[in-house]
Structure formats: C-alpha cells, structure tokens
Amino acid sequence: MTDDVRRVVSDCGMNSGIACVFTRSSTSTVTTIEYEPGLLRDIPDALERLFPKNMEYGHEQMWHDGNGHSHVRAAFLKPSLTVPFVDGDLLLGTWQQIVFVELDNKRRNRKLIIQMVGE
C-alpha cells in the first residue's frame, strides 16, 4: 500500500502534515513492516502464538462464525496508521512499508480510507 498512499499524499496539494490510513473493518488492520518473505511468515506465526485460532472465544457464542480470533487480533493491532509527510512525501524509514493485513477467516471486500491533515 505504500505506493498508493504516497501517490495520494503527493496529489493532495499539501506540503506537510499527516496521512491517516484507516480500514473500515473490525477484522483487519493497517500497519508497517519490512515487507520481505521472512516477516510474511513471522507475522502470522506470531499472531497464532498470541491469539490462537483454536482457542475458545466469547464471540463464537453469539455469532458462531469462527472468527473470534480475528476480532481479538484486530483489536490489538488497531484499524489505522498515521504517517507524517513533508514536501509531499511520506516520512517512512528505509525499509518501512505500509501494509494492509486481512485477519478474517474468509475473503472480504475491503475499502480503505486515506485522509490527510496539513498545509
């Protein structure tokens, strides 16, 4: 998502400010990582250790949809990311990239919101 956010910021007409990337979902997140194969394995493995899919979740008692772990993961990871920008460019670290992470147990059609505040 980094290139998409960078393009929106570049085209917004503001010189400096903050860009907020937000997912309208309770089972997904937006974050930053170094987008490389090792971390693409490590992140799901870490989430499984912290919030196992096969654990009993109270959400299942209400909805029986098998995604209680998805809601808990998303609550800890949060639905948005705020990135400062200067001279129309994101102030990300050398290897830092913006990523959307789907946490649900089935495919979903997601829409993300990018909103800027600045001058």
Q: What is the pLDDT of residues 49-74, one digit of tens each?
A: 999 999 999 998 999 999 999 999 99
What is the per-residue pLDDT for 95?
96
Q: Is 116 exposed, middle or buried (0-12, 13-18, 19+ CB in 10 A)?
A: middle
Residue 52 is predicted with a pLDDT of: 97
Domain ranges of the chain: 2-118
Cβ atoms within 10 Å of 73's Cβ, excluding its own: 21
Query: In the prediction, which pLDDT does 54 show?
Result: 94
For residue 82, the 8-state DSSP code is E
Q: Which CATH number fits domain 2-118: 2.60.120.460, 3.40.640.10, 2.30.110.10, 3.30.565.10?
A: 2.60.120.460
Question: What confidence tens digit (pLDDT) does each residue in 7-33 have?
Answer: 999 999 999 999 999 999 999 999 999
Specify the DSSP class assigned to residue 88.
Answer: T
- Which ranges in 1-119 belong to alpha helices (H)? 2-11, 37-50, 58-63, 68-77
Tokens of 110: 């997601």
pLDDT of residue 50: 97
